[in-house]
Amino acid sequence: MTERTVRLDIMSDPICPWCYIGKTHLDKALAEAPDHPFVIEWHPFQLNPDMPPEGVDRRAYLEGKFGGKEGAVKAYAPVVEHAEAAGLKIDFEGMTRTPNTIDAHRLIHWAGIEGKQSQAVDVLFDAYFVQARDIGDHEVLADIADGIGMDASVVLRLLASDADREDIRKRDAHSREMGINSVPTFIVAQQHAVPGAQPPELWHRVIEELRAQVQA
């Protein structure tokens, strides 16, 4: 099957629970098909592009977004259900802030240059959803970088600058101009958009279809 590779571009935000669930499903499918053809690249999409740099109180954010506490609980009920079904433990109670994610996206970009992009995405999801850490905090991001073998001091210096900030904003805007308005969105072979946290079974079918195309 490795006669040709297929690009799988993923638009995602590290504070999006559906992105975390969707990556978990995709990872399961890819582990079960180790000869899959995908070459994966992650792309920035901020759920809250107008978020203050310091982030906001999470409870206030959710209640404001969903029209009060009851609305927030109702909106997150399917998230909790699907996360549990995927075997994920999300510490919603431990999260105190909703961060601005532009710096997390910059870290994902820099990790990609070093061939560590998927690792960075993994660790950011774990830091935010499992450990309830503030992934808008530069020290937290530097610690995450260090944990995947990047130079934390270099990352801290880059975070303190405007390096690649405008590039991330332009890439985010480009996705919206393409018509993407929710994440995760997966683009297969630069042609077919697959929106949402799809189950592993769907990815198995996609891989089988790609195999058949290669064999044909």
Q: State which amino acid sits at residue 197.
A: A
Q: Is residue 1 part of a domain?
A: no
Structure tokens at 139: 């020290």
Query: Rounded to an integer, what distance in angstroms lies between the CA atom of residue 125 and that of residue 104?
Result: 10
Contact 19, 184 (CB under 8 A): yes
**Does the structure show a pLDDT above 90 at 104?**
yes
Number of domains into which the chain is organized:
1
Instruction: Show Cβ contacts of residue 106 under 8 Å, excluding neighbours closer than 6 positions.
Output: 158, 159, 163, 164, 165, 168
**Phi, psi of 29, deg, nearest 5:** -65, -40
**Does the structure show a pLDDT above 90 at 197?**
yes
CATH number of the domain to which 166 belongs = 3.40.30.10
pLDDT at 214: 81
According to DSSP, the β-strands at 185-188 and 97-98 are unpaired
> Strand runs (DSSP E) across 3-135, as ranges?
6-12, 38-44, 56-57, 97-98
> Which of the four pLDDT bands, split at 50, 70 and 90, describes residue 178?
very high
pLDDT for 48-82, tens place per residue? 999 999 999 999 999 999 999 999 999 999 999 99
Task: Tell me the residue range of the domain where 207 lies.
Answer: 6-215
* For residues 83-101, average pLDDT: 96
SS3 195: strand
pLDDT for 139-171, tens place per residue? 999 999 999 999 999 999 999 999 999 999 999
Cα–Cα–Cα angle for 98, 100, 102, rounded to 5 degrees: 145
Q: Is residue 96 part of a domain?
A: yes
Q: Is residue 46 part of a domain?
A: yes
Q: Is residue 67 part of a domain?
A: yes
SS3 174: helix
Contact 126, 17 (CB under 8 A): no
> Which of the four pLDDT bands, split at 50, 70 and 90, describes residue 1?
very low
Q: Is residue 124 part of a domain?
A: yes
Report the phi/psi class of residue 179: left, alpha or beta, with left for phi > 0 and alpha for psi in -120 to 50.
left
* For residues 127-140, average pLDDT: 98
**Does the structure show a pLDDT above 70 at 3?**
no
Nearest of 170, 94, 168 to residue 126 by alpha carbon: 94
